[in-house]
A = this chain, B = another copy of it.
Amino acid sequence: MKHTHQRRSDCPINFALETFGDPWSLLLIRDLVYFGKKTYGEFLASEEGMATNILASRLAHLEQQGIVVKRPCAQDKRKEEYTLTEKGLDLIPVLVEMANWSAQYDSHTAAPAAWITLMQADREKMISLMRETVQNGGSVFVGENSLLNRTRQMLSVSS
């Protein structure tokens, strides 16, 4: 954990890559946004199976960059809860564009068709709903009050 590594350039693309551009960080942010994961153990259990030491170093890096904050969990003091800061929430549009691209080009994509439809219908609206949802402790796909469930209801009510 040293990283006395001078930045390669001041290019904004390079800045983004140096901040969250390793092969794992965005998966953690995905877990936070789409799946409502918050603890070390939950991240570790993701289907991509990242190694525990890598997970620890990435979480530390993201925390140091001000993208996530770590807080001891109130209910169970063994646990730490990680949540996105404003700076982290502002990465949602990046995730969304990557997901859009993959949904278009990966024939085996796991992105739910209903969700893709919603995103195509009103990108701006959905991004602000995503942000609001995650900020309030919810997630896009997981849980009773997931954004996907709530927007599905909105659609069926309004139709």
Which residues from chain B contact A9 at a C-beta distance below 8 Å?
Answer: 47-48, 110
Tally of contact residues, A, Cβ under 8 A: 41
Q: Are B104 and A15 in contact (CB under 8 A)?
A: no
Q: Within the oligomer, what is the number of copies of this chain?
A: 2
B12 pairs with A110, CB closer than 8 A:
yes
* Closest-CB distance, A11 to chain B (whole angstroms): 6
Known: A10-B110, A11-B30, A110-B9. A16 touches B101 (CB 8 A): yes
Interface locus among A18-26, A76-84, A130-138: A18-26
By a beta-carbon cutoff of 8 Å, the part of chain A in contact with chain B is 8-17, 19, 21-23, 26-27, 30, 47-49, 87, 90-91, 93-106, 108-111
